[in-house]
Structure 1
Amino acid sequence: MSTQVLAAGGYRYIPAVSQYSGGVAAEPGFRIERVRFSKVVPLAEGFERIERHLASIGRPNTAFCACELRSPAPFTEQGFRDFNAIYIVTLRRWGLMSGDVNPVARSNVCPELDPPAEPGFHAFCYTVPDADAAPSFVVAGSGESAEGKGDYRDNVVARGDVSPAGLRTKARWVLGEMENRLRALGFGWEDCTATQVYTVHDIHPFLGDELVRRGAMRAGITWHFNRPPVQELEYEMDCRGVPLERVLAV
């Protein structure tokens, strides 16, 4: 994996697929901040709130570098493609995308209980100038399927196997993807301030052997009782190293 720089945003990113990048890291002289909404904000309203927030702190829309979405239920393959076509319209308008290259990292998961009525924003990240900033980054979410190789379902690791052994296999693959992305950005687990897991299945059988032993829980772990965004995926993770986080009341 290699990275490219979005100079207008003050960050570099891992090129991946048109709907999102593999992760982002602040360039020297910038830091990444994260804002979580107090409740999920529908997509169009969320973009408007993000735009207002960036304007209020004197940052351009191109400073937007990552987001965490919540959707009502896992999409079909076609449904996911349709959703992504809607999502990237605003990114194009904001000048973030050149052709099909999308620099913005993203996670999009589906709460099993009390889901939102429509897709929306849970959190977002952006860069701000900071001459003395320590390095900061966000690794995009990944489920147990290789991206950019056709349909997700055709590439699912241990497809249909939600036994303890099957889930361990899925988790190992996702952990490997997290480590690949961290390494591409110049980081490791020791640099993370937060690691998140998204699954409705029991992670305890492999929690110690995989997540703890590999270093993914150095800063603890946040387990969301959510499903990945596409049907037949069962396990997803993301991680970040961000010095400042806040909650924006809705």
Structure 2
Amino acid sequence: MISVFAPGNYRFIPAVFQYSSGAAAEAGYEIERVRFDRLVPLAEGFAQIANHIQAAGRPLTAFCACELRSPAAFTEEGFRAFNLHYVKTLAEWGLYDGSTNPVARSNVCPEIDPPAEPSFYAFSFTRASQGTSPSFVIAGGAEARGGAGSYPERIVRYRDLSPEGVQEKVRFTARSMEERLAAFGFAWKDTTGVQAYTIRDFHPVFADELVRRGAARSGLTWHFARPPVIDLEFEMDCRRVLREVVI
């Protein structure tokens, strides 16, 4: 089910309180992605994001996606505590109403040279456009099934790092991306960027599980990083964004 976040001029796939599963610009608008040249700690990052969005003549509710980097993978309890802190700013900006969050997100943990504290890597926001090409950001997703239960209960091939286990994790994650794309009426052929996050060797299945299904049409950016929760091993996100800048 797709919902519309009118104050931000985008629609989104409802998911959990900390993030949505994806955001897509409404007609007459496009998504701009902004990547920081260096990682920016959370509080400072929110301040810089607010300045950038407002300088573009947009309300803070135009904030529609972000990409975070954390020092290390969280426990389930630690991840929830972080998310409760993170959404406070979204509530102040009029994005989070206490239950529904329209902002898509990826949050991963660099294995080498991680930040000292949770930080921003990139963010996206909507702006007016006379173009007709769609734009969207699909949130990061890993090999965990939805629904109730702890992560150990929901992780595909839990702690299985065999070649077969890694293949199933990659396949599940790619299919999850396809489901989110399809919810907006899109597919891999519409993407302009795809990212993968893992410290495991997925090259043996790269061709069959990603390239052949179209996920690498624009190449694939691999970040040597872990998903945000302990024992998750493979995460992806993707986007169609025609305007990208580095600040």
Q: Distance in 1 between matches of 2:45 and 2:153?
A: 32
Aligned to 2:87: 88
Deviation at 1:146, TM superposition (A): 2.2
Amino acid of the residue matched to residue 74 of structure 2?
A: F
Runs (4+) of structure 1 exceeding 6 A deviation are none
Report if the CA contact (8 A) 1:91-1:97 is conserved.
yes
2:222 paired with 1:223: yes
Q: Which residue of 1 aligns with 2:16?
A: 17
Superposition pairs for residues 236-247 of structure 1, below 5 Å?
A: 236-247=235-246
CA distance in structure 2 between the aligned counterparts of 1:49 and 1:127, rounded to whole angstroms:
16
- Letter aligned with residue 208 of structure 2: D
Q: TM-score of the superposition, structure 2-length normalised?
A: 0.98
Quote the Cα distance in structure 2 between the aligned partners of 1:142 and 1:183. 15
Alignment map for 1:105-184 (pairs within 5 Å): 105-184=104-183
SS in 2 for 1:78: helix
- The answer on whether the counterparts of 1:228 and 1:235 sit within 8 Å (CA) in structure 2 is yes
Contact conserved, 1:195 with 1:240, CA < 8 A, in 2? yes
- Report the Cα distance in structure 1 between the residues aligned to 2:181 and 2:124, rounded to whole angstroms: 17
Output the CA distance in 2 between the equivalents of 1:133 and 1:246.
Answer: 20
Mapped to 2, the partners of 1:132 and 1:247 lie a distance apart of 22
**Which stretches in structure 1 are left out of the alignment for 5+ residues?**
none
What does 1:33-112 correspond to in 2, within 5 Å? 33-112=32-111
Q: Percent identity, please.
A: 58
The equivalent of 1:205 in structure 2 is 204
Separation in 2, partners of 1:236, 1:217? 15
CA distance in 2, matches of 1:87, 1:159: 28
Please say if residues 28 and 131 of structure 1, whose CA atoms lie closer than 8 Å, have aligned partners that are also in contact.
Answer: no
Q: CA deviation at 1:148?
A: 4.7
Q: Structure 2: which amino acid aligns with 1:85?
A: L
Structure 2 spans left out of the alignment, 5+ residues: none
Distance 1:99 1:80 in 2: 17
Q: Does 1:189 align with 2:188?
A: yes
SS of the aligned residue for 1:178 comes to helix
Q: What is the letter of the counterpart of residue 117 of structure 2?
A: E
Q: Could you list the per-position Cα deviations for residues 63-114 of structure 1 after superposition, in whole angstroms to 9, with x for gaps in the alignment?
A: 0000000000000000000000000000000001123110000000000000
TM-score scaled by length of structure 1: 0.97
Deviations 1:192-232 (A, max 9, x none): 00000000011111011110111100110000000000000
Q: Which amino acid aligns with 1:140?
A: A
